[in-house]
Amino acid sequence: MLDAIDQALISALMQDSRRSLKALAQISGLSAPSVAERLKRLEERGVISAYTLEIDPKLLGYQLQAIVRIRPLPGKLQEVERQILAIAEFTECDKVTGDDCFIARLQVRSMEQLDNLLDRLNHFAETNTAIIKKSPIKRRLPPLD
Amino acid sequence: MLDAIDQALISALMQDSRRSLKALAQISGLSAPSVAERLKRLEERGVISAYTLEIDPKLLGYQLQAIVRIRPLPGKLQEVERQILAIAEFTECDKVTGDDCFIARLQVRSMEQLDNLLDRLNHFAETNTAIIKKSPIKRRLPPLD
DNA sequence: AATGAAATTCCTCTAGA
DNA sequence: TCTAGAGGAATTTCATT
């Protein structure tokens, strides 16, 4: 899928996406122009879909994170999806198989705000909320080979 | 929490973390040196915790994503957490309140692999797996104001 | 595909206000 | 926080292997 060099590049950029081509060249043992080409290809293929940031929600004032399972009331599936998208505090959402149609992650400043947001959804769906106490794995790559 | 300029910087870097100080200066209306200082402060405060990548799992060969709720058998909580950390295909994991102790995201190449991994966990825990069909929200910032 | 060197452009940092 | 300038890098091109 990915050769050893692509893997090295991706791992290195995953740790710090601002590394220069030169630095990446040293890490991967290639020359800088070769690294540039490989990155371009990885971007074009869509393997690298974005260079982005990791932000600490707590330091933005979002003291509370939760995972909400959402089961729309009959006929309300579309409406529920619209609502989720419209509520900016939902920072991730997956549509899944099973009884729950959506599983979403939510960041809020307080219990009160959590309650408010869920009330809005509860017009169209049943929800089941689990407060996040800790995140043992924040975000990591699966094996690249 | 964050003034308008910090917000602009974070939004801009969230979209493309490789933007130069100069480009960020134009976006934010500040000079490049000022941007450099603000970024340094945001990094030091921990607001920006990493510059990283967004990768498409499908293009790495991970055709299947799932969310697994994990309820350790009595006395097995530690063991379960160890197992989750040790299984590299778990790319996110949260420890939560409620009956499920952990909610984790998993990337695998096939149903067979999914089955294998879950079997390993089922020695120590009950699991409930939802296959991801679509991800309406991949990852976004909550409101910054 | 990858390399090395050259050319160019661009960026970062310091200093002074 | 800004401007300005120095100095240093980084990226890109191109000819070659």
For A91-112, the pLDDT digits (tens) are: 999 999 999 999 999 999 999 9
Helices and strands, counts by H and E, chain B: 5, 5
Number of residues written out for chain A: 145
Give residue A11's pLDDT.
96
By C-alpha distance, the chain A residue nearest B59 is: A47
Q: What's the mean pLDDT in A4-16?
A: 95
Give B141: exposed, middle or buried? Use CB within 10 Å, 0-12, 13-18, 19+.
middle
Q: What pTM was computed for the model?
A: 0.94
pLDDT confidence tier of residue B31, bands split at 50, 70 and 90: confident
Which two structure tokens, joined as six digits, stand for B123?
């020695």
**pLDDT at residue A70 above 90?**
yes
For B10-28, the pLDDT digits (tens) are: 999 999 999 988 899 989 9
Cβ-nearest to B88 among A88, A131, A142: A142
User: Tokens 């870097």 appear where?
Assistant: B13
Give residue B33's pLDDT.
87
Closest to A94 measured CA to CA, from B143, B58, B124, B132: B132
Give residue A8's pLDDT.
95
φ, ψ at B62 (rounded to 5°): -90, 90
> Residues 66..95 of B with a Cβ closer than 8 Å to A: which?
66-67, 81, 84-85, 88-95
Buried-exposed string A41-56: b where 16+ CB fall within 10 A, e elsewhere? ebeeeebbebbbbebe
Q: How many CA atoms lie within 13 A of A58 on its CB side?
A: 7
* Cβ count within 10 A of residue A3: 10
Q: Is A62 on the interface with B (CB under 8 A)?
A: yes
Give residue B128's pLDDT.
98
Using a pLDDT cut of 90, give the percent of chain A over it: 98
> Chain B closest CA to A1's CA: distance in Å?
6
